[in-house]
A and B are shown apart, each in its own frame.
Chain A
Amino acid sequence: MTTTLYSARKILTMNPSRPHATHVAVRDGRILGVGSLSELQGWGPSELDERFADKVIMPGFVEAHAHLMAGAMWRYTYCGYFDLRDPDGRVWPGCQSLEAVVSRLSEAARQQPEGPILGWGFDPIYFGTRRMSRADLDRVSDTRAVGMLHASFHILNVNSVALQGAQFLRPGMDHPGIPLAEDGLPTGELKGPDAMMPANPQVGLDRSLLSGDEFAIRAYGKLAVRAGVTTATDLAATLLDPELASLLRVTAESDYPLRIVPLLRLLGGTPAQTVARAVELGKQSTDQLRLGRIKVVADGSIQGFSARLRWPGYFNGAPNGLWYTAPEAIRECFTLALQHGLQVHTHTNGDEATELAIDCLAQALSAVPTRDHRFNLQHCQLADAAQFRRMKELDMCVNLFANHHFYWGDQHYATTVGPERAERMNACATAQRTGVPFTIHSDAPVTPLGPLFTAWCAVNRLTASGRVQGASERISVDAALQAITLGAAYTLKLDHEIGSIECGKRADFAVLVDDPTAVPAEQLKDVRIWGTVQGGRIFQAAGPV
């Protein structure tokens, strides 16, 4: 029974009754106490470990909406506009021209002389009106399939070989997701899952690869360490037996640094079957793998015009989006989940989807009155103040997509929902004022995993073009740090175990080089991260700090 006493430059506990400290004592992977050296020595013999003496320690960050796919993507070549670090700490410079994208992929083709070549993270909004075409990717290879997955994950560009393989390189294609060039053949841009799916296997995106992929689980763990994250969700998992087996195996390894909370998606089964499966999964939970929660997807995405909006709909007049799950199924799933004490997280992007989810929960709660259910709305990007008030009435939690402002805020302002509603999107301050427990998220790999960056987004609300969008919805640094620690833990019903540094909780820490409460708010995203402590085990991020 070893007790280790870590000294730190500062410990930000997120526990208001003892907000700061200089030392934390760890025993058996849990926090024995936090305070001064002399206070903690009262616990008996201990080893003083001073490796963090010049570091700032916070509770390990909790990312409540991300996907294991964030790890899987590093099987492929990053071609995004912004610099990004890979799980091993290598910085991949942003590709700021189409030429740079082509040369990055050509290099990848040289290094891996066989098989398809796939890039990811591409975002054409930074290249004006110029779209990528199959001719661009034919320059990478005219004998191997080449693909480029967009940052949104909703569009795939492919070359002629991949088009041919998907049986798309023919005249007469008639599909809204397959634009045609002047020659009558597809340009190579494939929009939406139906257009993308036939080409996915051509470019190496195998359906079976993406579930239970051990590489992805390990890479996800490394990304988490680099971001100071000690608990992260996999927000829409299928959790079939092979996938479950790899998750159980890898997360149980003594050097696996992350607690994963996979949510079972309502898809491919009835609500009753899904709830029954989630109950069974819950029984298999381990310390590092928390099962037994359900994800429901109500609508699509705002930038894809597939989210369900209330009147007056999309700013550019696009028709309303789609329901991804029938309202009846959502209501039934909520009701059954309440009966079985399960938590449901519902993806609602548009405000009509949010309204539906609130209605469904109100009805389910009438049938099954339940306290402290903590049902979450995920994204909930467009909710207005009245909807937040209803969420409060029904004891709901919300997880807002703060990163969206930075990456797509300008598009929301100009095109999708217009200025007024763009300014209220991801209304952290409204959630706070109304008293709806909230957290903020990256939806990695849609945007990079990094709770401090996400906090920066919520605090500053800057768009990629540098405008402050929705100044009244900005929150304080303290509130943002709360959101990425204890706030997120609360939404996952894990706040009794993680989210703050206090006696009895898991020894999960984010180890920082800089103090996020001491840097200017606009530099929050630049706070350097040394690594993490998870369950008392120390993980230094790979590569340079």
Chain B
Amino acid sequence: MTPTLILGGYLGAGKTTLVNHLLRHADGRRIAVMVNDFGELTIDADLIEGADEGVLALAGGCVCCSIGSDLIGALQDVLGRSRPPELILIETSGVALPAAVARSARLLPDLCIEGIVVVLDAQTVRERSADPYVGDLVRQQLLEADLLILNKIEQCNAAEQADLHRWLGVMTAPGTPIVPASQARVPPELVLGFRAQSLEPADVPQAQSLSRWQAKPIGRAGDPASERFVSELLTLPAALDPQPLLLALGDPAAGIVRAKGWITDLSGQRHLLQQVGRRIELTPLTTQTPAPGPDRLLVIGLAALYRRDNLPVNPSLKT
């Protein structure tokens, strides 16, 4: 199962900027970026190593592939490469509905669609949402987001930002986290997720180094562009009832925006847990691989909000 994320958002929101940022911080992950067409996406030139048959070879074993008119075919092609990707990012067209793209990508049994990340232009999103031609589309994109990246936040003053947050609270599905950003700079793990070894005990120091990840401040001091993110590696009880855990993770008040880990339910079944914003999925693990130590959960939260009081966990690390 190849983890796959859908990147949505209207034209000019900053999807391309985000993709470039993520590719720069791929940290060894082999990422395949699927784009509607090469024309719209301008991958930074220094990341491109070559081009061949509709595929751009990028630094670090990443590739960028054109979807054309056949999403499934393009995904099959990329999965069939001699070095298949570890992670797929599908950058949708600005006029696409990301949930429809996600539904179609789910037709491929080899993909695990982790969630939908929608990028917004903080300055124009409200105007766009009232546009007579594309307003309904923009509003639908907001509703379909599991996680919103509120980009170009430095263009808004504090009062405008507060106003925008209130407005987005009404326009989005309940529990959709809103992550402010400038130039789409967010912790890469927020979108890319964690590498499996981040959860291995041997790699705890790596997880620790992640914990103080901070978006590079851009703009005036004190604006939310310098919002801090925290992460924490949590150890879980040997067996637990998943429901309270899921509710706690999904509680907007907890400020948790991304999580990955393994849990064992009361019947002894192990599950992969993936959280992208308001979407949390449990995938039963079919092969009963013995747990490498106790079950773990690696979470990213918004520092201003993050709390884990309601999580049934034993913290193994503190930020």
Q: Taking beta carbons and an 8 Å cutoff, which residues of A are in contact with B?
A: 167-168, 170, 173-176, 178, 193-195, 197-198, 207, 267-270, 272-274, 308, 320, 322-329, 352, 356
Contact = CB atoms under 8 A, between A and B. Distances in A.
Nearest to B140: A319
Contacts of A197: 70-73
Contacts of B104: 175, 194-195
A194 B95 contact: no
Given A325-B95, A328-B11, 6 more contacts: A175-B107, A198-B73, A198-B108, A320-B136, A322-B97, A324-B95
A268 B93 CA distance: 11
Contacts of B73: 197-198, 207
B94 interface: yes
B265 interface: no
Contacts of A173: 107
B95 A323 contact: yes
Contacts of B108: 167, 198
B137 interface: yes
A174 B71 CA distance: 17
A45 to B, nearest CB: 56
B39 A356 contact: no
A268 B73 CA distance: 15
A356 B133 contact: yes
A194 B37 contact: no
Given A167-B109, A194-B71, A326 B103 contact: no
A402 to B, nearest CB: 27
Contact of B107 (A195, A267, A320): A195
A174 B106 contact: yes
A3 to B, nearest CB: 49
9 residue pairs, one from A and one from B, having the closest CB atoms: A270-B39, A194-B104, A269-B39, A323-B95, A268-B37, A326-B95, A197-B72, A198-B72, A197-B70
B39 A323 contact: no
B66 interface: yes
B287 interface: no
Interface in B54-95: 66, 68-73, 76, 93-95
A356 B132 CA distance: 10
B272 interface: no
Contacts of A207: 70, 73
A75 to B, nearest CB: 20
A320 B69 CA distance: 21
Contacts of A356: 133
B40 interface: yes
A25 B64 CA distance: 59
B39 A175 contact: no
A485 to B, nearest CB: 33
Interface in B85-131: 93-95, 97, 100, 103-104, 106-109
Contacts of B37: 267-270
B38 interface: yes
A323 B135 CA distance: 12
Contacts of B40: 270
Contacts of B133: 308, 323, 327, 352, 356
A182 B107 CA distance: 20
A329 B134 CA distance: 13
A194 B72 contact: yes
A424 to B, nearest CB: 22
A194 B107 contact: yes
A269 B38 contact: yes
A174 B39 CA distance: 32
Interface of B is mostly: loop
A23 B272 CA distance: 82
Nearest to B68: A268
A176 B70 contact: no
B95 A193 contact: no
Interface of B: 11-12, 37-40, 66, 68-73, 76, 93-95, 97, 100, 103-104, 106-109, 133-134, 136-137
A243 to B, nearest CB: 14
29 contacts: A170-B109, A173-B107, A174-B103, A175-B107, A178-B107, A193-B69, A194-B100, A194-B103, A194-B104, A194-B107, A197-B72, A198-B73, A198-B76, A198-B107, A198-B108, A267-B37, A267-B69, A268-B37, A268-B38, A269-B37, A269-B39, A270-B37, A274-B39, A320-B136, A323-B95, A323-B133, A324-B95, A326-B93, A328-B11
A327 B134 contact: yes
B72 to A, nearest CB: 5
Contacts of B76: 198
Contacts of A326: 11, 93-95, 134
Given A194-B72, A267-B69, A268-B39, A176 B103 contact: yes
A193 B70 contact: yes
A271 to B, nearest CB: 8
A273 B37 CA distance: 11
A267 B108 CA distance: 24
Contacts of B106: 174-175
Contacts of A174: 103, 106
Contacts of A193: 69-70
A345 to B, nearest CB: 18
Nearest to A178: B107
B125 to A, nearest CB: 15
Contacts of A269: 37-39
The listed residue with most B CB atoms (<10 A of its CB), out of A167, A198, A270, is A198
Contacts of A267: 37, 68-69
Contacts of A323: 95, 133-134, 137
Contacts of B38: 268-269
Contacts of A175: 103-104, 106-107
A193 B137 CA distance: 20
A194 B106 CA distance: 11
A269 B97 CA distance: 20
Contacts of B72: 194, 197-198
Nearest to A360: B133
A440 to B, nearest CB: 27
A161 to B, nearest CB: 18
A178 B108 CA distance: 13
Contacts of A322: 95, 97, 137
B169 to A, nearest CB: 24
Contacts of A328: 11-12, 94
A329 B106 CA distance: 29
Nearest to B10: A326
B90 to A, nearest CB: 12
Contacts of B68: 267-268
A352 B135 CA distance: 13
A12 to B, nearest CB: 41
B37 to A, nearest CB: 4
A195 B104 CA distance: 7
Nearest to A308: B133
A69 B172 CA distance: 43
B56 to A, nearest CB: 14
A200 to B, nearest CB: 8
